Amino acid sequence: MACSADIHYAELHCISNFTFLRGASHPEELVQRAHDLGYRALAITDECSLAGVVRAWRVARELNFHLIIGSEFRFDDGMRLLLLATNLAGYSALSQLITDCRRQSEKGSYHIERPMLDQGLPDCLALLAPTLPLPGEEVLIEQTQWLAERFPKRCWLLYERVLSADDEQSLQALSRIAAAARLALAAAGDVHMHDAGRRRLQDVLTCIRHGCAISQAGQRLYPNGERHLRSTQKLARLYPRELLDETLRIASLCQFRLDQVHYQYPDEIIPENHTVSSYLRQETEAGIRRRWPGGEPVKVRKLVEKELALIAELQYEPYFLTVYDIVKYARSQKILCQGRGSAANSAVCYCLGITEVDPARVDLLFERFISKERNEPPDIDVDFEHERREQVIQYIYRKYGRERAAIAAAVITYRPRSAVRDVGKALGLSLDQVDALAKSLAWWDGRKVKPERLRDAGFDPDSQLISQLMTLVNEIIGFPRHLSQHTGGFIIARQKLSALVPIENASMADRTIIQWDKDDLETLGFMKVDVLALGMLSAIRKTLDLIENTSGRRLRMQDIPPDDPATYRMIQQADTIGVFQIESRAQMSMLPRLKPASYYDLVIEVAIMRPGPIQGGMVHPYLRRRQGKEKVAYPSDDLRPVLERTLGIPIFQEQVIKLAMVAAGFSPGEADQLRRAMAAWKRKGGMEPFRKKLIDGMLARSYPLDFAEQIYQQILGFGDYGFPESHSASFALLAYVSSWLKAHEPAAFVCALINSQPMGFYRPDQLLQDARRHGVEVRPVDALASDWDCTLEKTAGKPALRMGFRLLKGMSRRAADMIVAQRRERPFASIRDLATGTGLNRRQLDILAASGALRSLSEHRNDARWQVWGQHKTTPLLQQAPLKETPTRLPEPGEGERLLDDYALTSLTLGRHPLALLREKLDRARLLPLGQLKQLRHGQRSRAAGIVIGRQRPHTAAGVTFLTLEDETGQANIIVWRDLAEKQRRILLHAPLLVVSGKVEKEGEVVHFIAEKLEDYSGLLGKLQTRSRDFH
């Protein structure tokens, strides 16, 4: 037996969990482990995939560990082949091969056949890894011969000893075959996991893959857990020395490193006779003349020059120009767009029209967002009207071709619910049990499954099954399940993209994605342009169009007057239903306290009601300082420039990063690592080292421990929801614009909002209710007047809103268009006329009748229904001959019935509120109308009923649920603390009509009702359906 000290080994066959449902370890874990075990190299060979290699690379780079890039392929005849890249050309060839295998198959699968390798694969090594039990010797001889012809001197046969029966015979057979084909034999481990401890999870993954329970899985499972990274001592016992040595020879041939993949910007963005710099300069100057026809302020000129110099120094010109090109296209199509992100709020971007945030108006320093020291790639996300983003995407495909443009992947990972479902099924729980279990994790249980929830669902948390389940669930959470498309991250390359990264099919037809996600792209310095969809932009554009149609006045976004007092007054009163960003319950409760009065106040408002500042406990100190109740002070003079604009309280992500540098002595590189770790810690953890460094660093610079701890908490809070100032600045502008529109053109605004659904926080019926409260006349759906969309109708005074057919549940667009088209030719004289003219089916007619949309053609809804049901498809000949019908007098529907229909079809009644109909009963039960809650004193107890129109459980608010109740007198905000929510969970989550007992809390104009007890009064509603939107 060899001494372990001189055992050297390179593992050449190892899959990660990016071979979905087979590999049981993250790529990072594998690399770390291989390094710790003293391996000389590790090849990540995921099956027909390179999706995990960048993650592996990130760790390998840090550890200075030899990572080999390869891939495993399975052929239809059972042959299993590994291909390893020796250099960049080999890597490109491999990437192309994977692309070919994947592009001709459905999403998530691949197909390879031998002819695809007829020319071998240049600069790749081929390793034949026969599956166990070994196929017959003839089969292997044929395979090795085939391979040896195509990969002369570049192929090996692998002996993988995983302690199965007949290992020795296998070794003998393989040695014979290798000798006959004159190939060398090498050792490998068929590695599926970094550590034997993942064996159970690997079994469970197998069950999930086969859709079976573990007790039925039988031989689909591996007979033992040997497929992990084993110690070199053990390997020395299992393999002949020369087989181990051979692995090193192979590894030494693989000299490719991922950082050799060199991304190049596309070059067609510049016209001839231009360099990137001269063209950027030219377009920027043109923009300056457009923006400041009377000459730009000195400040702006200075800024532009500084920025251009910085951009040139960092060679970011192509990036700005690529974004500029896309934005220019959108503008030519009259598609509204708005950029955000670190580079977006520059004077250059303002001149290029990428953003409307005016650098002269606000003091947003570009350098704050981009710096030389920090190795951040430029970041510009562009939001487009959500309904027309596809046009932009198609433009990009047209311009650069599908070879060179693709969408980044989003790695879909296991979340608690899916993990419980899949692991539960694999462990043999019945579907009912799995459901009960999954349901017990209602959306707010955080990332771990609590024992109490298990008991609720009828499980014993201490049983072996459940403890196994929980361990496995916690292990599998974060495991990738499949690749999906990123919401809009485009990657555009100068050459063929598939030479850089494999491309595969997405589930959407005609969409292709690359196998890397945005973190991977960032690691390798690829340029990514986020082409995002934003509903509010559609709504704003539609509002502007509507204003033009009704008043003839053409407004552009930049024409909207800044600093309009009426708009800020409205915002300060939290009268913001429907406007961008500041419409949520939590935001609305903040507005009257923060009282935004300027654009920058809005920037803060947008960013402050988020997990970072909330968890860091920054909200209240900021409010106190703003209200003048507390003196503005700075932890140190050094921090003054960092925190000045937010009254000494860190609110934005950029401030916290900067703070880490100034107050804790982080180097720019470390700060950048911190920024990345922040975004990922919820998924991966790994914040501990930063905590220590941060707190030690701050203590050393004599900052108080409390403050350091607060900053750390804030960093944790930024996690998934980090909201930097650079994004807030753009969003605040849209928040202002939408507020202005709501304040001055409420009818057009609500009309556009509804026509842009689905979007935003409120349902159409809530938006309409709000509009009515603001004096907008809302007219019901009418077959003689409505379009598919809501429309504005001229009146003597302000325009009225006509509800469109789109508000009718179940109404099809096609049917609505038929009605409109027919009506234009000849107005309908009767229901019969409408039915025969449009050829609408019974269902659609029924919806019209029930909703009252036939009001102009019938006596009442019952009559309309009777008439509609009498319509039969007739031949054209009979069409003219009126069918004789006995006149029938049907009872007119009562108010309650009409209301039920209204709710069933539009979730909205223009008649009385449902609770108005129940008021008598509610009075008898001594329930207060919600409108009267405001008049109660602070601390006074009461009991009130309302329909639940919103339940919100912000991740930030430590277990608080915000309920919004509504009755005919208005809305009320109810706060349900965690204890009560736990106790009355079912009622809280499910009851549409609630009675709440509790007490009033007042702070200035803000009134909250703190719930002490909930009662389910839904029975009163009868069939009345109300639905609330649950937000995560």
Partner 1 sequence: MSEPANSKGELWLALHLPLLGLDLLQLSSAHAPAACLYEGENKHQRVWLGNSRARRCGIVPGMALKAALAQCPDLQTYPRRADAEQSRLEQLALICLDFSSRISLEPPQGLLLEVGASARLWQTKFLRRHLQGLLREQGHIVYTALHETPTGALLLARSRQNRPAQIPLGAFPVDAGITRKLARIGVHTLNDYLTLPEKDRMLRFGPELEQMALKILGRLPDPRRNWRPPCRFRRTLELEYETASAGQLLFYARRLLDELDEALAQTCSAVQQLHWIFHHYRRAPTRHQQQLLHPGRDMSRISLLLHEQLERLPLPASVEKITLQVNRFWPKAADSLSLLRDMGQNIDAIEPLLEKLQARLGAQAVYQLRALPDHRPELAWARVAPGKATPPPDQLPPRPLWLLPQPRKLSSIRSFRHWRGPERIASGWWEDDIRRDYYRARHRSGVTYWLYHHAGEWFIHGVFG
Looking from the CA of 641 toward its CB, the CA atoms found within 13 Å total 7
Closer by beta carbon to partner 1, 560 or else 853: 853
Contacts to partner 1 from residues 597-636, by CB under 8 A: none
580's CB contacts (< 8 A; 6+ apart) are 536, 731, 734, 735, 737, 738, 739
| CB of 220 or CB of 684, closer to partner 1 | 220
Q: Which of residues 460-479 bind partner 1 (CB under 8 A)?
A: 465, 468
Interface residue with partner 1, options 420, 781, 850, 995 (CB under 8 A): 850
Residues 551-590 that bind partner 1 (CB under 8 A): none
Does 862 help bind partner 1 (rule: CB under 8 A)? Answer: yes
Report the run of H or E that residue 66 belongs to, with start and end: strand 66-74
Kindly tell me which of 667 and 1025 has the beta carbon lying closer to partner 1: 1025
Nearer to partner 1, 229 or 850 (CB): 850
Give yes or no for residue 218 binding partner 1 (CB under 8 A).
yes
Q: How many residues does the chain have?
A: 1032
260 lies in the site for partner 1, by CB under 8 A:
no
The minimum distance between CB 851 and partner 1, in angstroms, equals 12
Among residues 109, 172, 215, 795, the one that binds partner 1 under rule CB under 8 A: 215
**Rounded CA separation 690/681 (Å):** 11
Write down the least CB distance from residue 135 to partner 1, Å: 10
By CB under 8 A, what part of segment 381-440 binds partner 1?
A: 427-428, 431-432, 435, 439
Q: Where are the alpha helices (DSSP H) in 333-478?
A: 347-352, 366-369, 389-400, 416-426, 431-439, 451-456, 464-476
Q: How far is the CB of 951 from partner 1 (least distance, A)?
A: 16
Tokens coding 990: 């499910």
Give whole-number Cα distances, 238 to 135, 164, 188, 241, 820, in Å: 22, 12, 11, 9, 79
Q: Find the shortest distance in angstroms from Cβ 996 to partner 1.
A: 21
Q: Min. distance of Cβ 419 from partner 1 in angstroms?
A: 17
β-pair partners for 160: 188
The token pair at 530 is 């986020």
Comparing CB distances to partner 1, the nearer of 222 and 263 is 222
Position among 446, 686, 827, 870 found at the interface with partner 1 (CB under 8 A):
870
The yes or no reply on residue 234 touching partner 1 (CB under 8 A) is no
Stretch that binds partner 1, among 444-452, 526-534, 560-568, 868-876 (CB under 8 A): 868-876
Interacting stretch for partner 1, rule CB under 8 A, among 216-224, 740-748, 761-769, 823-831? 216-224
Looking at 28, 203, 307, 376, which residue binds partner 1 (CB under 8 A)?
A: 203
Task: Provide the token pair at 492.
Answer: 């555009």
Residue 949 touches partner 1, criterion: CB under 8 A = no
- Please give the distance of CA 1015 from its chain centroid, rounded to a whole number: 36
Listed ranges 282-290, 295-303, 814-822, 861-869: which one lies at the site for partner 1 (CB under 8 A): 861-869
Q: Which is nearer to partner 1, 212 or 310 (CB)?
A: 212
Of residues 957-1016, those binding partner 1 (CB under 8 A): 986, 990
The residue range among 195-203, 475-483, 546-554, 766-774 that interacts with partner 1, by the rule CB under 8 A, is 195-203
Minimum CB distance to partner 1, residue 867 (Å): 10
End-to-end Cα distance, the chain: 59
**CB neighbours of residue 973 within 10 Å:** 18
CA dihedral of residues 393, 395, 401, 407 (deg, nearest 10):
-10
| Identity of the residue, 165 or 821, whose beta carbon is nearer to partner 1 in the bound complex | 165
Show contacts with partner 1 in window 120-139 (CB under 8 A). Answer: 133
Among 273, 702, 875, 886, the residue binding partner 1 under the rule CB under 8 A is 886
Smallest distance, partner 1 to C-beta of residue 168, A: 6
Q: What are phi and psi of 870, to 5 degrees?
A: -85, -5
Residue among 578, 931, 909 nearest 771 (CA)? 578
Span near partner 1 by CB under 8 A; candidates 307-315, 600-608, 819-827, 887-895: 887-895
Q: What is the dihedral of CA 303, 305, 310, 313, to 10 degrees?
A: 180
862, 888, 910 from 891: Cα distances, Å: 7, 10, 21
Quick one: which of 890, 818, 879, 809 has its CA closest to 846? Answer: 809
Of the residues 27, 70, 225, 760, which one makes contact with partner 1 according to CB under 8 A: 225
Instruction: Measure the CA–CA gap between 578 and 760, rounded to whole angstroms.
Output: 7
d(CA 658, CA 653): 9
Q: Which of residues 694-753 bind partner 1 (CB under 8 A)?
A: none
Among 176, 220, 684, 1013, indicate the residue that binds partner 1 (CB under 8 A).
Answer: 220
Q: Which stretch, 29-37, 215-223, 296-304, 730-738, contacts partner 1 (CB under 8 A)?
A: 215-223
Neighbours of 963 (CB within 10 A): 25
**Total of chain residues touching partner 1, rule CB under 8 A:** 46
Q: Under the criterion CB under 8 A, does residue 224 sit at the interface with partner 1?
A: yes
Backbone angles phi, psi at 500, to 5 degrees: -100, -35
Host H or E run for residue 206: helix 199-210
Q: Are the beta carbons of 483 and 98 closer than 8 angstroms?
A: no
Please pick, from the candidates 885, 895, 1003, 1030, the single residue that binds partner 1 as defined by CB under 8 A: 885
User: Structure tokens of 832?
Assistant: 């019969």
231 binds partner 1 (CB under 8 A): no
Q: From the CB of 865, what's the least distance to partner 1, in Å? A: 5
CB of 698 to partner 1, least distance (A): 47
Q: Which of 888, 932, 940, 1025 binds partner 1 (CB under 8 A)?
A: 888
**Given the complex with partner 1, which of 221 and 679 has the nearer CB atom?**
221
CA distances to 148, 337, 389 from 333, rounded to whole Å, are: 57, 11, 11
Return the number of the residue (358 or 1016) whose C-beta is nearest partner 1: 1016
Give me the 137-166 binding string for partner 1, x by CB under 8 A, dash otherwise. Answer: --------------------------xxxx
Half-sphere exposure of 391 (CA within 13 A, CB side): 16
Nearest approach, Cβ of residue 203 and partner 1 (Å): 8
Question: DSSP secondary structure string, 494-520?
Answer: SS-GGGTS-EEE-SSTT-EEES--HHH
Q: What contacts 24+ positions apart, CB below 8 Å, involve 1010-1013?
A: 1010/974, 1010/975, 1010/977, 1011/963, 1011/974, 1011/975, 1011/976, 1011/977, 1011/980, 1012/980, 1013/980, 1013/984
Residue 965 to residue 1015: CA distance in whole angstroms: 13
Which residue in 174, 79, 87 sits closest to 117, CA to CA? 79
CB closer to partner 1 out of 431 and 958: 431
Smallest distance, partner 1 to C-beta of residue 864, A: 9
User: Could you tell me the smallest distance in angstroms from the CB atom of residue 847 to partner 1?
Assistant: 12
Per CB under 8 A, 891 contacts partner 1: yes
Nearer to partner 1, 77 or 696 (CB): 77
Integer Cα distance of 479 and 19 in angstroms:
11
Quick one: 165 or 700, whose CB is closer to partner 1?
165
**Contact yes or no for 779/802 (Cβ under 8 A):** yes
**Which token pair is 705?**
């421990």
Which residue's CB is nearer to partner 1, number 115 or number 133? Answer: 133
Beta strand 961-967 with 970-976 is antiparallel
Q: Of these, 47, 100, 142, 167, which contacts partner 1 (CB under 8 A)?
A: 167
The residues of the shown chain that bind partner 1, judged by CB under 8 A, are 133, 163-168, 199-200, 203, 214-215, 218-221, 223-226, 427-428, 431-432, 435, 439, 465, 468, 850, 862, 865-866, 869-870, 872, 885-886, 888, 890-891, 893, 897, 901, 986, 990, 1019
